C-alpha cells in the first residue's frame, strides 16, 4: 500500500464524522489550554515575587493536578461515545478484508491527527490567553503587573507530554475494544440496544441507604474540623449513590411509567418510554455523570465566589485593628508586658505616628478536649490521646475587669460564674466542668467585638472557647506544674501607608524580639500586610474555581451532546418506521420533548438536592477560612444554581433540536 494510504483514511474518517469529532477536539484543546495556563502561572516567576504569591502558586499547582486527573478520566470516557459510532465503519473494513492490524493503523493516525490538532489549538489558545489570565489573577489579588508577554516553554513541553500520554491510553483502550470484537458486533455496535432490563431493587435500596448516610453526615456535622475531614468521605458516598440510583432508579421509573396506563398509552409518551426502557442502564450511567459534574460546578463556584466576595469581611475579622502584637509568656509576672507596651507607645510618639483605638488583654489558656456540651477534659495526657481533631479546643480565660474595661460594661461575677463565647464551635451548656472546677454560664456573649480575638484564635483551625471569669483559675498537672498558657494581646489603629506600615512593623518587631523578649514567642502583624495575603489567597481560589467550573460545565455539555447524537442515530430507523405508518413530525417532536424532559430533568434536580444537603458542611468548612456571612453564602449558592440551571436548559434545548433533526429527516 502507498505510504499515505492510512493517514488519508484516518483524515477522511475524521472529516466524515466531524459532527462528533469537532466537539471532542474542541474539548481536548480547551483542557490543554487550561492546563497550560495553570502550569504557566503556578511555575512562573511572576507570583513568586508577589506578596501572597507563594500561597497562590500552591493553590494553582493543586488546580493543574486536578485538571490532569480529570482530563485523563473524562477524555477516555467521552472518546467511548465517539468510537461507538465509528465501530460500524471499522466492522465494514474488517468484513471487506482489512485485518485488525490495519484498522489499528487507521486508529493510530486518527489519534495522531487528533492530538496534533487539539494540542496545537490548545497550546496556542493557552499562550494567547495566558497574559489575560495573568492580568485577571493579579487584579483579583489586587496586585499590579506589567503588560510584557512571555511563553513558558517548560509549560508547553509539560502539556505536550501529559496529553500525548492521555491520547496514547485512549488509543490502547480503543485497540483492545476493537481487537476483542468480531465484525458483526462492530457493524451492529451503533444500533445494538440493550435487553429489557429489570429494576434492580437491591442496587436501588443500596443507593438510597448510601445517599441517606452521606446526607446525614453533611447535616449533622457540628464543628468545622469534622466537616473538613468528612467532606471527602461524603463526596465519595454521594458519587457512588448517584450512580446506583441513576442506573437502578431510572429503570424503575420507566417501569412505573409503563404501568401508568393513562400516561404510557399516550402518543406523546408511548414511543419515548418504550425506547428509554431498553437503554436506561447505559442512560443511567451517563445521567449520573452529568449530575456529578453539575454538582461539582455548583459546589465549586458557590464556595469560591463566597470566599472571594467575603474575603474583606474575613480580613476584618482576622485583623480587627491596623497593628497587633501577641506575646506568649509563662507565669504571672507581667514585667515584660509592661516593657513591650512602653516601647511601642514611646516609639509611636517618637516617630509622630497618629494612633487610636488601643485595646489590650491578657488571656490565660490551655488545650482541652470537649467531650460533651458541658464537659471539657483538661488532663494533659488524656487530651494528647485524642488523635481526632474534632474534639480538641482551646479554653481561653479573660478576667471580668479587663472585659468590663474593653466593653464599657459593669458586670460582676461570683467565683463559680462565667460568661462564655464560642469560636468555631457550638455554645456551651448552662454549666461547664473542667477537672474539679465547675462554672455556671450566666450569659453567652453574642457580640463578637466584645471579645478581643487574638490572631492565634482566629487563624487556628482548632475551636476556641472564651470564658470571662471573676478570678483566674489555677490549674496544675500531677507534678504541680502550671498548665496555663498566658498571652498578651495588644492592638491599635494607625495612619500609615503600605510601605511605612511594613517598615515600622519590622523595625519594632526586630527590636522587641532581640532586646525585650529574646527567644520567646512574639508575633506582630498588620492589617495591610494581612490584606495582601487574604485577598491574594481567596482571589486565587475564586480564579481557580471559575476555571474548574468552566471545565466541568463544558464536560457536562459534551456528555449531553454525545448522548443526544448517539441516541439520535440509534432511534433514527425507529422514527422512520413510525413516520411510514402514519406518525406526524409534530407527534415526533412532542415525543422527543417528553423523552428529553423525562431524562434530563433529573441530573440538574438531583445536583441541586446534593448542594442543599451539602450546604451545612460547606458552611462549616468556610468557617475555617474566616467566612462567617451566612447570607452571602446563601446568595452565592442561589445565584450559582440559577445561572447553571439557565445554561443547562439552553444546552438541553439546543441538543434536543439536534436530536430532532437526526430522527425526523
pTM of the model as a whole: 0.77
Q: Structural domain boundaries of the chain?
A: 1-192, 197-322+523-665, 323-495
| pLDDT at 102 (0 to 100) | 82
H helices of 96-182, where?
100-140, 153-179
Alpha-carbon Rg for the chain in angstroms? 32
- Of the two residues 48 and 542, the one the predictor is more confident about is 542
- Among residues 560, 556, 590, the alpha carbon closest in space to that of 663 is found at 590
C-alpha cell belonging to residue 16: 466524515
Which pLDDT tens digit goes with each residue over 476-489?
A: 766 767 778 888 88
- The DSSP element (H or E) to which 86 belongs, if any, is helix 53-95
Beta bridge partners of 297: none
Q: For 108-122, 166-180, 457-471, 584-598, which range has the lowest pLDDT when averaged over its residues? A: 584-598
Q: For 183-187, 536-540, 604-608, which range has the lowest pLDDT when averaged over its residues? A: 183-187
The span from the CA of 395 to the CA of 381, in Å, is: 16
DSSP string, 602-655: HHHHHHHHHHHHHHHHHHHHHHTTT---HHHHHHHHHHHHHHHHHHHHHHHHHH
The residue whose grid cell reads 474539679 is 436
Q: For 140-149, 527-536, 575-584, which range has the lowest pLDDT when averaged over its residues? A: 575-584
Residue 389 has pLDDT above 80, yes or no: no
CA atoms within 13 Å, Cβ hemisphere of 185? 6
Q: Are 467 and 427 in contact (CB under 8 A)?
A: no
Q: Are 13 and 110 in contact (CB under 8 A)?
A: yes
At 193, the pLDDT band (50, 70, 90 cuts) reads: very low
Mean pLDDT of all residues in the chain? 81
Which pLDDT tens digit goes with each residue over 161-192?
A: 999 999 999 999 888 877 777 666 665 555 54
C-alpha cell belonging to residue 164: 500525548
Residue 409 has pLDDT above 60, yes or no: yes
Q: For 52-56, 343-347, 364-368, which range has the lowest pLDDT when averaged over its residues? A: 52-56
H helices of 141-245, where?
153-179, 183-187, 201-220, 224-244
Q: Span 543-552, mean pLDDT?
A: 89
Amino acid at each position: 500500500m502507498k505510504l499515505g494510504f492510512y493517514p488519508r483514511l484516518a483524515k477522511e474518517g475524521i472529516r466524515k464524522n466531524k459532527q462528533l469529532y469537532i466537539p471532542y477536539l474542541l474539548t481536548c484543546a480547551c483542557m490543554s489550554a487550561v492546563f497550560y495556563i495553570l502550569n504557566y502561572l503556578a511555575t512562573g516567576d511572576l507570583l513568586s515575587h508577589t506578596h501572597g504569591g507563594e500561597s497562590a502558586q500552591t493553590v494553582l499547582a493543586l488546580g493543574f493536578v486536578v485538571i490532569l486527573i480529570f482530563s485523563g478520566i473524562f477524555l477516555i470516557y467521552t472518546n467511548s461515545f465517539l468510537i461507538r459510532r465509528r465501530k460500524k465503519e471499522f466492522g465494514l473494513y474488517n468484513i471487506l478484508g482489512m485485518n485488525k492490524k490495519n484498522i489499528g493503523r487507521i486508529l493510530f493516525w486518527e489519534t495522531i491527527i487528533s492530538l496534533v490538532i487539539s494540542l496545537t489549538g490548545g497550546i496556542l489558545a493557552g499562550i494567547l490567553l495566558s497574559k489575560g489570565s495573568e492580568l485577571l489573577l493579579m487584579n483579583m489579588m489586587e496586585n499590579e503587573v506589567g503588560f510584557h508577554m512571555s511563553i513558558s516553554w517548560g509549560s508547553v513541553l509539560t502539556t505536550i507530554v501529559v496529553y500525548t500520554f492521555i491520547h496514547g491510553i485512549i488509543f490502547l483502550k480503543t485497540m483492545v475494544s476493537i481487537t476483542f470484537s468480531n465484525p458483526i458486533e462492530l457493524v451492529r455496535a451503533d444500533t445494538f440496544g440493550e435487553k429489557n432490563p429489570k429494576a434492580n431493587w437491591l442496587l436501588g435500596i443500596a443507593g438510597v441507604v448510601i445517599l441517606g448516610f452521606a446526607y446525614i453526615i453533611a447535616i449533622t456535622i457540628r464543628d468545622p474540623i469534622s466537616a473538613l475531614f468528612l467532606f471527602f468521605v461524603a463526596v465519595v458516598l454521594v458519587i457512588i449513590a448517584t450512580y446506583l440510583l441513576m442506573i437502578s432508579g431510572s429503570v424503575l421509573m420507566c417501569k412505573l411509567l409503563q404501568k401508568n396506563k393513562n400516561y404510557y398509552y399516550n402518543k406523546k409518551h408511548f414511543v419515548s418510554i418504550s425506547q428509554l426502557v431498553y437503554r436506561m442502564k447505559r442512560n443511567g450511567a451517563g445521567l449520573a455523570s452529568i449530575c456529578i459534574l453539575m454538582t461539582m460546578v455548583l459546589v465549586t463556584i458557590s464556595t469560591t465566589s463566597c470566599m472571594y466576595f467575603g474575603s474583606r469581611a474575613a480580613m476584618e475579622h482576622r485583623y480587627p485593628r491596623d497593628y497587633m502584637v501577641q506575646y506568649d509568656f509563662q507565669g504571672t509576672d507581667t514585667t515584660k508586658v509592661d516593657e513591650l507596651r512602653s516601647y511601642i507607645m514611646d516609639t509611636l510618639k517618637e516617630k509622630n505616628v497618629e494612633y487610636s483605638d488601643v485595646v489590650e488583654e491578657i488571656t490565660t489558656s490551655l488545650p482541652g478536649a470537649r467531650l460533651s456540651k458541658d464537659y471539657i477534659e483538661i488532663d494533659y495526657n488524656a487530651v494528647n490521646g485524642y488523635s481526632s481533631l474534632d474534639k480538641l479546643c482551646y479554653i481561653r480565660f479573660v478576667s471580668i475587669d479587663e472585659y468590663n474595661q474593653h466593653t464599657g460594661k459593669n458586670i460582676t461575677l461570683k467565683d463559680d460564674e462565667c460568661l462564655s463565647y464560642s469560636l468555631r464551635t457550638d455554645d456551651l451548656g448552662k454549666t461547664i466542668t473542667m477537672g474539679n472546677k465547675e462554672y455556671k454560664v450566666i450569659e453567652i456573649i453574642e457580640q463578637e467585638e466584645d471579645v478581643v480575638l487574638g490572631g492565634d484564635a482566629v487563624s487556628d483551625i482548632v475551636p476556641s472557647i472564651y470564658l470571662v471569669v471573676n478570678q483566674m483559675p489555677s490549674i496544675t498537672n500531677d507534678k504541680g506544674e502550671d498548665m496555663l498558657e498566658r498571652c498578651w494581646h495588644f492592638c491599635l489603629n494607625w495612619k500609615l501607608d503600605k510601605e511605612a506600615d511594613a517598615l515600622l512593623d519590622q523595625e519594632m518587631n526586630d527590636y522587641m524580639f532581640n532586646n525585650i523578649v529574646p527567644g520567646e514567642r512574639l508575633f506582630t502583624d498588620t492589617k495591610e500586610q494581612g490584606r495582601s495575603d487574604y485577598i491574594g489567597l481567596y482571589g486565587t481560589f475564586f480564579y481557580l474555581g471559575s476555571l474548574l467550573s468552566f471545565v466541568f460545565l463544558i464536560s457536562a455539555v459534551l456528555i449531553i451532546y454525545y448522548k443526544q447524537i448517539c441516541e439520535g442515530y440509534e432511534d433514527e430507523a425507529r422514527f422512520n418506521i413510525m413516520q411510514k405508518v402514519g406518525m406526524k413530525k409534530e407527534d415526533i417532536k412532542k415525543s422527543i420533548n417528553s423523552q428529553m424532559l423525562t431524562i434530563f430533568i433529573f441530573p440538574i434536580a438531583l445536583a441541586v438536592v446534593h448542594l442543599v444537603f451539602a450546604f451545612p458542611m460547606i458552611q462549616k468548612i468556610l468557617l475555617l477560612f474566616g467566612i462567617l456571612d451566612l447570607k452571602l453564602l446563601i446568595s452565592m449558592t442561589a445565584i450559582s444554581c440559577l445561572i447553571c440551571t439557565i445554561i443547562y436548559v439552553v444546552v438541553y434545548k439546543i441538543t434536543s433540536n439536534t436530536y430532532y433533526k437526526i430522527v425526523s429527516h
